Amino acid sequence: MKNEYIPHPAIIESIQRESFDTKTFTLAFEDKDLADSFDYKPGQFVQVSLLGVGEAPISISSSPSRSGLLSLTIRAMGKLTQSIHRLEPGDRIYIRGPYGNSFPLEEAAGKDLYFIAGGIGLPPLRSVINSVFDRRRDFGRIRILYGAKTPDELCFKDELQIWKKIDDTEVLLTVDTSYENWQGNVGVVTTLWNKTDMATSYGVAYVCGPPIMLKFVIEKLLTSGFKDENIYVTLERYMKCGIGKCGHCNIGEKFVCTDGPVFTYSQLKKFPLKDRAIA
Amino acid sequence: MKEMSLKKDNVKGLCLAACNQWETYVPIEEMGQDVQFVKINGKDKVFSLDNLNLDYQSLLIGPKVIGFPQLESLFEFRGGKLTETVQPPRKKLLFGLRACDLKGILFMDEFFKRSFQDIYYLNRSADRLLVLVGCKRPPRDCFCTSAKTGPFLPLAGSFDKPEESDFDLQMVDIGDVYVVEIGSRKAEEFVNTYSKFFDRASEKMVAQSKEAKCAAEQAVSLKVDFDKAIKNFCQDKVPEEIYERLAQRCIYCGGCLYVCPTCTCFNVFDETIRWASEKENVGCASAHQIQEIPSLSGEIKSVGGRRCRNWDACVFEGYTREASGHNPRYEKWVRTSRRYEHKLKYDYLTTGKSGCVGCGRCLSSCPVNIGISQVIEEVSKI
């Protein structure tokens, strides 16, 4: 029987600053065999820890289609993530996983894909987006709608520019509060609906963001013709174990860690309203 | 195998003999009349059985602590080196369980085996002999006859049948003697190994044991319509107003969940030992072995310690609070609804069994007199 609670040491290879409170850490497992065998799917998460500080679930922002290193994009928010932000390349961090289900890509083949993210919600979607771009011809047109509080808080700024240049791909950005040199849209992410053609009955949407955003984005998607089963949402919950035991992430009879974190809207709407899966 | 009998005078002898082979847990009366399961074979000595109490009314903390202790270490770390603290499986004899607690143990077994297996729990429960001593005087707050979890459990028809009884041994008190029912092959071997303590039960004794079981069943005075309540929970017929009313009284201490035989939620945290200087570090680990991590204040300090888990409760406000401060179950009544719906709806939907075993501990331990039996009763009348 495997001991699922034992984390494995990984070395921070590089750190990319995304915004004033967000960094992307690229990691390599110390154990060669583990480094070679570690496999994950877009949408999955790992339990990240610093010994003596604590452990938290963090979604994987790198893509399995790009071999090699594991990337985690982390906002300094609580005790653990603030400590992680003080680390430097060469420092050690502990990882176990990957856990949870993933965004199914096979069902989306041939369809138009819509990625809608808010704030720190883009990292898990980036894992899917890059997997999709690595087999671009398998999918129809791609729209990426991304909103953050300020222009500085947009993650993956360089990559957003690269994505824009890919065939039949639109990247639409918005911020809640603009700076003087901001040329783009100002407003919540749903205000981007007017900037592009979102009407579809065969599109697949991938959504990640704060609960209040999920509520409004899902409403918009439904009025644009998206079917319940084609709206994929990844949820965030407080978690301690990642393996369906500690109980913290339960919603109804489901565990976000093992039954999710990715749910279709068909599943979400069956959740008890009072459990606030979406706002 | 036919029913056996065990003289009360022989019980201590049996436990002492068994503890050479088995890690043996028995109910011991502590000071102040609290009874709890205690391991009698310690590291070097066997504890006295003078305070053995098989007639206890109810244990405040049930035998769930044997498989799932309130606090346990998952691993230790020092100098960036991890040491697993999982215990190897050991043969365990749990002697003197009540039927409701035994049902609770089986419920937890199923939970920890599901999907990802929990090695800490499963190693503790790997090789176990469960000896049930049926309740003779059921406590006031329990309702096991309604939950169909006691005071005695049914014996499976024959050993050739695949399904075995829930217990290994079931003992029925008929005065100076216990009539012992054998529920598994493992139990049969146990009785054969310690045969000098057992006798065959006479037909008269067996008849007396049946009477004792009936009498115990009738002595359970609190009755609720369990099936109807579960049906109403599963059909979402419970109005929010019930939870809101409970939320006004509940003080959210979590006591009812700590004592619940089927509650499995836990928190995980790191405990650290920091050495201020090289000097204090002598005998622990050499300085270079100690992993240096930044503390919150930004200082680099040498750290060793352990990752632990301890019981948690879904009624606590911090239970679902995320690092951002967002808390999907901030409101008290929502936490209350989770607490009852988990037991009486979601557990039933997932496993086909209710998460309540009718022990009544939540009521007896509650400072403001709320018990799940009251909720079941109210919901069953909807």
Same domain, yes or no, for B116 and B8? Answer: yes
Burial class (CB in 10 A: 0-12, 13-18, 19+), B284: middle
Domain boundary among the residues B185, B203, B219 is at: B219
> Is B116 domain-assigned?
yes
In chain B, the percentage of residues whose pLDDT exceeds 70 is 89
B161, pLDDT greater than 80: no
Query: Is B74 domain-assigned?
Result: no
How many independent structural domains does chain B possess?
2
| B170-218 tens-digit pLDDT | 999 999 999 999 999 999 999 999 999 999 999 999 999 999 999 999 9
Proportion of chain A above pLDDT 90, given as a percent: 87
For testing contact with chain A, the best of B78, B271, B322 (most A CBs within 10 A): B322
If asked whether residues B181 and B33 sit together in one domain, one would say yes
Q: Calculate how close chain B gets to A23, using CA atoms only, in Å.
A: 17
HSE (CB half, 13 Å, CA atoms) of A89?
Answer: 7
User: Over the stretch B5-37, which tens digit does the pLDDT of each residue have?
Assistant: 999 999 999 999 999 899 999 999 877 778 999
Q: Are residues B207 and B230 in the same domain?
A: no
Chain A residues whose beta carbon lies within 8 Å of the beta carbon of residue B307: 5, 49, 51, 55
Is B80 in the A-facing interface, judged by CB distances under 8 Å? Answer: yes
**Are residues B159 and B249 located together in one domain of the fold?**
no
B79 touches chain A (CB under 8 A): no
Residues B56, B117 within the same domain: yes
Looking at residue B344, its amino acid is L
Pair (B44, B192) in one structural domain: yes
B209 shares its domain with B242: no
- Phi, psi dihedral angles at A99 (to 5 degrees): -125, 165
Query: Are residues B108 and B170 located together in one domain of the fold?
Result: yes
Query: Is the bond preceding B88 in cis, omega lying within 30 degrees of 0?
Result: no
Compute the distance between CA of residue B309 and CA of residue A195 in angstroms, rounded to an integer.
Answer: 50
Is the model's pLDDT at B284 over the cut of 60? Answer: no
Confidence of residue B371 (pLDDT cuts 50, 70, 90): very high
Cα(A95)–Cα(A11) distance, rounded to whole angstroms? 10
**Using only C-alpha atoms, what is the Rg of chain A?**
18
Q: What is the pLDDT of residue B299?
A: 40
* Beta carbons of B114 and A244 less than 8 Å apart: yes
Which chain B residues touch A5 with a CB distance below 8 Å? Answer: 74-75, 119-120, 307
User: By the 8 A CB rule, do B291 and B273 touch?
Assistant: no
**H-type helices in B194-307, by residue range?**
203-219, 226-234, 240-249, 255-258
Task: Find, in chain B, the residue whose alpha carbon is nearest to that of A279.
Answer: B328
Query: Is there a contact between A248 and B77 if contact means CB atoms under 8 Å apart?
Result: no
Lowest mean pLDDT of A167-176, B103-112, B291-300, B336-345, name the range.
B291-300
User: pLDDT-derived band of residue B42, with 50, 70 and 90 as boundaries?
Assistant: low
User: What sections of A192-268 are H helices per DSSP?
Assistant: 211-223, 265-268
Q: Is residue B252 part of a domain?
A: yes
The residue of chain B with its CA nearest to that of A79 is B296
Q: With bands split at pLDDT 50, 70 and 90, how would you rate the model's confidence at B283?
A: very low
Q: Is the pLDDT of residue A148 over 50?
A: yes
**Region B144-169 average pLDDT:** 81
- Token output for A11: 């070395």
Specify the pLDDT at position A277.
76
| Same domain? B255 vs B318 | yes
Lowest-pLDDT range of A244-248, B72-76, B157-161, B249-253: B157-161
Binning pLDDT at 50, 70 and 90, where does residue B280 land?
Answer: very low
Tell whether B63 is covered by a domain: yes
CB atoms within 10 A of CB B5: 21
pLDDT tens digits along A13-31: 999 999 999 999 999 999 9
Could you give the count of Cα atoms lying within 13 Å of A242 in the half-sphere of its Cβ?
Answer: 23
With cut-offs at 50, 70 and 90, classify the pLDDT of residue A161. very high
pLDDT of B40 higher than 80 = yes
Residue B188 lies in a domain: yes
Least confident piece of the model among A147-161, A175-189, B228-242, B294-308: B294-308
**Structural domain contains residue B281:** no
Closest Cα to residue B143, out of B207, B227, B204?
B227
* pLDDT band for position B276 (cuts 50, 70, 90): very low
Lowest-pLDDT choice from B5-19, B224-238, B280-294 = B280-294
Strand partners, B274: B303
- Report CA A24 to chain centroid distance, whole Å: 13
Residue B235 C-beta-side C-alpha neighbours within 13 Å: 10
Q: Searching chain B, which residue's CA lies closest to the CA of residue A278? A: B328
What rounded mean pLDDT belongs to chain B?
88
B293-337 pLDDT per residue, tens:
444 433 444 567 899 999 999 999 999 999 989 999 999 999 999
Residue B134 shares a structural domain with residue B245: no
Chain A residues with beta carbon closer than 8 angstroms to that of B75: 5-6
Give the phi and the psi of residue B74 in degrees, each rounded to 5.
-90, -40
| Residue B291 domain flag | no
pLDDT at B295: 43
Q: Do A250 and B342 touch (CB under 8 A)?
A: yes
pLDDT at B336: 96
End-to-end CA distance of chain A: 39
Q: What is the pLDDT of residue B342?
A: 96
Quickly list DSSP for B94-144.
Answer: EEEE-HHHHHHHHHHHHHHHSSS--HHHHHHTSSEEEEEE--SS--TT--H
Q: Does some domain include residue B77? A: no
Lowest mean pLDDT among B47-51, B102-106, B228-232: B47-51
- Check B265 against A274: CB less than 8 A apart: no
Read off the amino acid at residue B250: C
A131 pLDDT higher than 70 = yes
For A144, the token pair is 């990426």
Phi, psi dihedrals of residue A212, rounded to the nearest 5°: -70, -35
- Do B170 and B250 lie in a common domain? no
pLDDT of residue B158: 52
Q: In what order do the strands lie in the sheet with B198-200?
A: B35-39, B23-29, B92-97, B128-133, B169-173, B177-182, B4-7, B198-200
pLDDT, averaged across chain A: 94
User: Which two tokens mark A216?
Assistant: 């409004």
Give CA–CA dist B105/B264, Å, rounded: 11
CA distance B376 to chain A (A): 19
What is the mean pLDDT of the segment spanning B234-247? Answer: 95
Q: What is the ipTM of this complex?
A: 0.93
A44 pLDDT band, cuts 50/70/90, is very high
Report CB contact under 8 Å: A238, B346.
Answer: no
DSSP type of residue A137: G
Domains of chain A in sequence order: 8-99 (2.40.30.10), 106-234 (3.40.50.80)
Interface test with A, best of B77, B84, B109, B116 (most A CBs within 10 A): B116
pLDDT tens per residue, range B115-133: 899 999 999 999 999 999 9
Residue (of B14, B54, B28, B61) closest to B137 by Cα position: B54
Q: Does B110 contact chain A (CB < 8 Å)?
A: no
Q: What is the pLDDT of residue B34?
A: 85
Using the 8-state DSSP alphabet, how is residue B343 labeled?
Answer: I
Chain B residues 39-78 within an 8 A CB cutoff of chain A: 74-75, 77
Q: How far apart are CA A163 and CA A167, in angstroms?
A: 9
Range of lowest pLDDT (B146-160, B219-233, B336-350)? B146-160
- pLDDT of B147 reads 93
Closest CA to B327 of B315, B338, B337, B319: B319
Q: Domain of B15?
A: 4-67+86-219
Q: Please tell me whether the peptide bond between A261 and the residue prior to it is cis, using omega within 30 degrees of 0.
A: yes
Q: How far is A150 from chain B (nearest CA, A)?
A: 18
Q: Identify the CA nearest to A45 among candidates A205, A262, A278.
A: A262
A72: distance to nearest CA of chain B, Å? 17
- B interface test, pick of A2, A4, A5 with most B CB neighbours within 10 Å: A5
C-alpha B324, offset from chain centre:
34
d(CA B223, CA B138): 13
Q: Which of A3, A50, A248 sits opposite B86 (nearest CB)?
A: A3
The SS3 call for residue A144 is strand
Percent of chain B exceeding pLDDT 90 equals 74
Residue B277 has pLDDT above 60, yes or no: no
How open is the CA angle A146-A263-A2, to the nearest 5 degrees? 115
Query: Please, which pLDDT band fits residue B44 given cuts at 50, 70 and 90?
Result: low
Q: B331 and B208, same structural domain?
A: no
Length of chain B: 382
* Whether pLDDT at B266 is above 90: yes
